[in-house]
Amino acid sequence: MAEQSSDRARREQRVTDQVVASFETTDNDRFSEVMQALVRNLHAFVRETRLTEEEWNAAIEFLTAAGHITTDTRQEFVLLSDVLGISMLTVAVNEPDLGDVTESTVLGPFFVQGAPEIPLGGDIVKGATGEPSWVYGTVTDTDGQPVPGARIEVWEADDDGMYDVQHEDGALAGRAHLFSDHEGRYRFWGLTPTPYPIPDDGPVGRLLRRAGRSPMRAPHLHFMVTAPGFRPLTTHIFVSGGPYLDSDSVFGVKESLIRTFERHPAGTPAPDGLRQERPWTSARFDIVLGKA
């Protein structure tokens, strides 16, 4: 038996060696490095788990289903990357050690290019349902100097847990971009973030149910901040005391990104002088960018 096992191991290793060698002829060293590492790790997975042909066929069917359900507004492979923690690991691998720079987190599957511009103090809601929230802060560098003209993209779900692109009318709502002023300040009206499930009606949802995992995300508001000479930042802020902070389905929560959303009764004057007819919240999020 020992000799047969040794022979089997040699046969299996020969397959891996042949495939790894097949990627040595490329003229792109990085492509070769990535593909060879991918092959070695995938082959090691097959050997470690003694993967059956039935299980491999099931995996192919799963990936095929993920491709079929993916559309311009529904990216199942992003969801798969998110729930496996690959998205957050990629963020961690690429995030520089720059001290007080605001931490990054996942992009998520609902970012849309071409969101409308709003002025400082403007409203991103545009018909999305939920509780009003005044969000404000500054954009600075690591020396505390303001970053004027930083482009700030923001987007979030409504209180039904849906992003605009998930609604059939196709109207943009709950998203916009604005620019920091000459002192690096920004401010806008949005919605108090609420928890919601990632889309779980496809293969990724079936995977989570099989694993006994929840599809719920902790309540959050997305930011993407860019400015010339600085590293782009993709991040969220999370609601202090909100649900699922310890069990976010995509592992996106970082302690430094949790913020207090202070509650205000209806009729309380807001910083812009507006008196909301309903209760509202406010949250400060100061953003620190690292030099490129």
What's the whole-number mean pLDDT along residues 131-151? 97
CATH architecture of 81-288: Sandwich (2.60)
pLDDT in tens, 28-41: 999 999 999 999 99
Please report, for the chain, the start and end positions of each structural domain, with discontinuous segments joined by +.
Answer: 2-51, 81-288
CA dihedral 156, 161, 165, 166 (to 10 degrees): 170
User: Where does the pLDDT of residue 4 fall: very low under 50, low under 70, confident under 90, or very high at 90 and above?
Assistant: low
Strand partners, 122: 188
Does residue 135 contact residue 221 with C-beta atoms inside 8 Å? yes
CB atoms within 10 A of CB 255: 8
CB atoms within 10 A of CB 41: 10
Strand partners, 271: none
Q: Is the pLDDT of residue 78 over 90?
A: yes
pLDDT in tens, 241-258: 999 999 999 999 999 999
pLDDT in tens, 143-160: 999 999 999 999 999 999
CB atoms within 10 A of CB 209: 12
Does residue 243 contact residue 195 with C-beta atoms inside 8 Å? yes
What stretches of the chain show up as alpha helix (H) in DSSP? 2-22, 29-49, 53-69, 76-83, 86-94, 203-211
How far apart CA 48 and CA 60 sit, in angstroms, is 19
What stretches of 159-245 show up as alpha helix (H) in DSSP? 203-211
